[in-house]
Structure 1
Amino acid sequence: MKHSHTHTSHPAIIKRLRRASGHLSSTIEMLEQGRTCLDVAQQLQAVEKAIQQAKKSLIQDHLDHCLEDLVGPLGVGQRQSMEEFREITRYL
């Protein structure tokens, strides 16, 4: 059985995803209205960026909270490795 959990970052992630949903709805409307490809592409970029930012926030929040809670307190060397791992996730 899965249990529910929330983090302080979740409201901000939800806000980003709602923004992405709004951009996506606008994109569909733009296509239905026959707007230019440039306009549609710009709107799609906004959708993609909002989703990407939400994903990054979720992954980094997981690293900051869930992963360390699972493995317990980290030693100095482990902490440095975790920080490097966290930093590389910025490039996802």
Structure 2
Amino acid sequence: MSEPHLHASHPDIAKRLKRAEGHLRKVIEMMESGRACLDIAQQLQAVESAIISAKRALIQDHLDHCLEHAVGSLSKEQRGPIDDFKAITKYL
């Protein structure tokens, strides 16, 4: 069995996902009780935003820690493509 792969950001990401879970439960309740589609759509937007935020945080954390660990110390010239890659992923 492999060792746990935990980062300092994981508890915050888990909080974001729990928030999304709460929003999703609310959406289901709203649908079952016949709430207006506009209200449901707004709540679904909150779910989507929370999940996207958690995904971005996880990807950035992975790049900041796992990628850095994998490439090790490089000269400034060698780091250029890696730094560019990390910068462009913020637009995902």
Same fold (TM over 0.5): yes
Residues 35-55 of structure 1, C-alpha deviation per residue, up to 9 Å, x if partnerless? 111101110110001000100
Which blocks of at least 5 consecutive residues in structure 2 are unaligned? none
Alpha-carbon separation, structure 2, partners of 1:78 and 1:12: 32
Residues 15-59 of structure 1, C-alpha deviation per residue, up to 9 Å, x if partnerless? 100000000000000100111111011101100010001000000
2:33 pairs with 1:9? no
Alpha-carbon RMSD: 1.3
- 2:3 aligns to what SS in structure 1? coil
Q: Tell me the TM-score normalised to structure 2 length.
A: 0.90
- 1:34 aligns to what SS in structure 2? coil
- 1:35 aligns to what SS in structure 2? coil
Q: Tell me the TM-score normalised to structure 1 length.
A: 0.90
Match of 1:80 in 2: 80
Which blocks of at least 5 consecutive residues in structure 1 are unaligned? none
Alpha-carbon separation, structure 2, partners of 1:88 and 1:66: 17
Identity of aligned residues (%): 62
Deviation at 1:68, TM superposition (A): 1.3
CA distance 1:78–1:28, shift in 2 (3 Å) = farther
2:32 pairs with 1:39? no
Query: After TM superposition, where is structure 1 displaced by more than 4 Å over at least 4 residues in a row?
Result: none
2:49 pairs with 1:49? yes
